[in-house]
Structure 1
Amino acid sequence: MTQGNLIARFAFHQGIHWSITGVMIPVLVLVFQSRGLSLTEVGLVMGTWGITTMLLEVPLGGIADQFGRRRIYLLSLVINAIAAVVLLLASNLSFMLLSAALFGASRAIYSGTLDAWFYDKFQTVSGSHSFHSALALVNVVVTLGLAFGALSGGYLPDLAVQFSLSTQSMYDLNMLVVIAMNGALFALTFLLIPAEGGESAEGEAEPAIGVLKRCQQAFNASISHTVLLRVLQTTLVFGMVLSAVENLWQPYLADIIKDSGYGTEVFGILSALYFLMATCSSLFSVRLLSWLKGSHRKLLFVSYIAAGTILVLLAFSASLLAFAAGYLLFFFLFTLGGNSQSVLLNDHTQAQYRSTMLSISSLVVTVGGVVASVSFGYIADLYGIAVSWWLGALLLMFSSLLFLRIPEAQASAMTEMESL
């Protein structure tokens, strides 16, 4: 297998995986409300989802390292399908909470599995790509998969009404599609993702050092390794700022357009354009890294400073055009360093606990998001959304200084850079 073949396999697989997630994005809260839940109960359900993911994230990463990443990934698809079945049949809050817990568990099981598999496999195949450029290509397909899933998910309820499907609500077709797609992806995974050395046909697991020991090793590395510590510290801030913008942009924009005559289609158009910005950002990051002589720390520093500056300006926007331009430019810059962070995290993590470390990183993003949801939401209520964004921008720019504390020799591309 060559690098090109590996990238194509993994990108296609991940595009389908994230399109499944996209199918539920436009209707998730609407599904809960169609079952009679109040907004308070919806918050409780979403909180259960997030807390379950946080609690299971790291230990399940250790299990993936122990028993094989592909095998554990397949388990996540099964749990995800079961969660959709429970939600499809749910008629009260208790079953909604059970479904949310299962969805959260599925997310925790998936986290760090195939990403770790891809990095390890990439090191064993020949080709001219760097891992950074490979990630850029994969993330383009992932973003397109999310966009396709979200667009399809928005259309499916109308289709259900058109064909008069006898379900609890018009949104149930989305869940039926999710169940079917999980089954199809389960089978497709065997074709696209070869078994690991630790997941042989005989079912022999890689040398056992214990799940808890793997978790302990990963945690020790995360606080003692110069690069990993800086990456995780800034990842926490990334999660906080991401949550602050994602949670507050819709009410901010709604206030701007409330007397303008624009309808809710504006939110859909901006969401779609966000996916386009993420795609362009992933591709441009390869060129920018080349201009910066392969320095991941410089790329991350520049992108965080620039994104923080645009976030400050976004908080001053008072028209639809100004907001749209600032919002899209912010996310272009904000996601510009995502591939570099992944490279630094993987390059400085030992293979035996790579899934665990990636799960720790995912956990840190989630913790940052939860902290921001509470703190920045409270600040926005008291002083306004603009103040929350100013604080987030300052935090982002100050955190960028941490990248400069990474030794340059440890933060540069390990292979010669090439352009796409």
Structure 2
Amino acid sequence: MDYRMNIWKLYAIRIFQSLIPAYVIERLFWEQRGMTIQMVVYTEIIFAITIVLLEVPSGIIADKWGRKNMILLGAFLEGGMFLILIFATEFWHFAAAIFLSGIANSASRGAENALLYDSLLLNGRERSFEKYLGRLNVCDVTSAILAALCGSFLASEFTFEFNYWLSLASMLISVCLSSMLIEPAVKGNTGESVAFKEYIVASVQFFRRNPSVCLMVLSGMVTGASLSFVWEFWQLYLNRLEIPVVYFGLFSAAFMFLSLPGNLLAHILIDRFKYRTLLLTVTAFMSVGFLYVSLIKDFTGLVAISIIFLVSGIIDPLVSGYIHHRMDSSIRATIDSFQSLGLNAVLIMTGLGFGYFSSEFDVFGGFGFIAVICGGYFLYFLITSKDAIE
């Protein structure tokens, strides 16, 4: 059976899952409904805790009973989230919606990468995983850019709720596309039917045997958690600079466009530079960028944010490719879920600090806290990665 069609289906699924015009005015919509920055951070923590609790079990389920089913479940639950948000007026409404999103993210995160890798593996193209993952992310970003441009215009012409109805429709299309995926028939080294406990044991043993993978996972956790805050709160940053909402789509499109080169060129950069060099460079730029954004409260901060987005595009293909090339297919989704679990554990801890400093010094203080986190990790990685990662 030709599993290459899975790749095109995954592209289409990503396109519609990212064709979400609600995201460009999300923070303004939430603020309009009474959600403060602190409350938003609380929902982010709820999201992260949900993933921490469910990420590994969902990865095991994906490895054991099928990646397609988990991707389909994730798309369905994301649709449910938008339906709740349309009518949300209280904190617990938003919390419930984000809880559903956390379950959805847990269900699909490891399953999607595992299905992509194994589809390539069965066609003898697994060494091109970073390239195809980068292209998958490009579909994601390109669709999100279109949604942002349309979303800001629609938000200025109609109510914010209209954007959410369109987003719900796009997510329902992704549900239909997910049902068309074909489950790859890959058999791993750990056997066909094992208990949940054995998946955990196999995963722990994998990390023990590969200390360099642990360091790569940690890098993805810290940089990913840091990036999530600029993705979540750039709208409030623009709002504080008194930029009209009608221009938000242009800024959103520009920020997302800047992440494209890293995704497209990741597989080329990996062949030319050491993993350590690439990660140190990205972390250094992020540290300085966040520090500048927190201290210089004017339009030049947008340049710093742009640089952060530009250098961060390489992170996902870089880290995911490094891990997937070193694991067995039977625990592929489980290992990927461990990575996502760790990222969200870091997100919980940094979220508490971001929320505190944002409440004291507005969103600028929150970005200052993230600058300290990135700077501290840069020094740690500089010391510990010298002999572990080339």
Q: TM-score range by the shorter chain?
A: 0.7 to 0.9
Distance 1:186 1:268 in 2: 26
The one-character-per-residue Cα deviations of 1:168-218 (angstroms, maximum 9, x if unpaired) are xx3443343333333322222344x3222279xxxxxx8221233313432
Q: CA deviation at 1:247?
A: 6.0
Q: CA deviation at 1:390?
A: 4.3
Consecutive unaligned residues of structure 1, counting only runs of 5 or more, are 162-169, 200-205, 409-420
Q: 2:173 aligns with which of 181, 184, 189?
A: 184
More moved, 394-403 vs 40-49? 40-49
Distance 1:85 1:386 in 2: 31
Q: CA deviation at 1:241?
A: 2.8
**2:131 corresponds to 1:133:** yes
Preserved contact between residue 310 and residue 329 of structure 1 (Cα < 8 Å) = yes
The one-character-per-residue Cα deviations of 1:360-386 (angstroms, maximum 9, x if unpaired) are 211222222222222244356379567
Q: 1:58 to 1:156 in 2, by over 3 A?
A: farther
Distance 1:71 1:266 in 2: 39
**2:343 corresponds to 1:362:** no
Q: 2:331 aligns with which of 344, 349, 353?
A: 353
Aligned to 1:213: 198
Distance 2:282 2:37 in 1: 36
Distance 2:36 2:355 in 1: 20
Q: 1:208 to 1:153 in 2, by over 3 A?
A: farther
Aligned to 2:15: 15
**2:380 corresponds to 1:392:** no
Distance 2:124 2:100 in 1: 39
Q: CA deviation at 1:240?
A: 4.2
Aligned to 2:388: 406
Preserved contact between residue 3 and residue 129 of structure 1 (Cα < 8 Å) = no
One-letter code aligned to 1:229: C
Q: CA deviation at 1:131?
A: 2.0
Distance 2:44 2:354 in 1: 18
Q: 1:285 aligns with which of 266, 277, 283?
A: 266
More moved, 90-99 vs 278-287? 90-99
Q: TM-score, normalised by structure 1?
A: 0.77
Preserved contact between residue 298 and residue 403 of structure 1 (Cα < 8 Å) = no
Q: 1:114 to 1:153 in 2, by over 3 A?
A: same
Q: CA deviation at 1:157?
A: 4.6
One-letter code aligned to 1:394: G
| Pairs within 5 Å for 1:10-409 | 10-19=10-19, 22-32=20-30, 44-89=42-87, 94-126=92-124, 130-157=128-155, 161=158, 170-191=159-180, 193-197=181-185, 207-243=192-228, 245-246=230-231, 257=241, 263-264=244-245, 267-292=248-273, 295-314=274-293, 317=296, 319-320=298-299, 322-379=300-357, 381=360, 384=365, 387-388=368-369, 390-401=371-382, 402-408=384-390
The one-character-per-residue Cα deviations of 1:66-89 (angstroms, maximum 9, x if unpaired) are 100001211222222233334445
One-letter code aligned to 2:262: S
Distance 1:244 1:30 in 2: 16
Consecutive unaligned residues of structure 2, counting only runs of 5 or more, are none
The one-character-per-residue Cα deviations of 1:150-174 (angstroms, maximum 9, x if unpaired) are 3344344566x4xxxxxxxx34433
Q: 1:243 to 1:90 in 2, by over 3 A?
A: closer
SS of the residue 2:24 aligns to: coil
Percent of aligned pairs with the same residue?
Answer: 19
SS of the residue 2:215 aligns to: helix
Q: CA RMSD in A?
A: 3.5
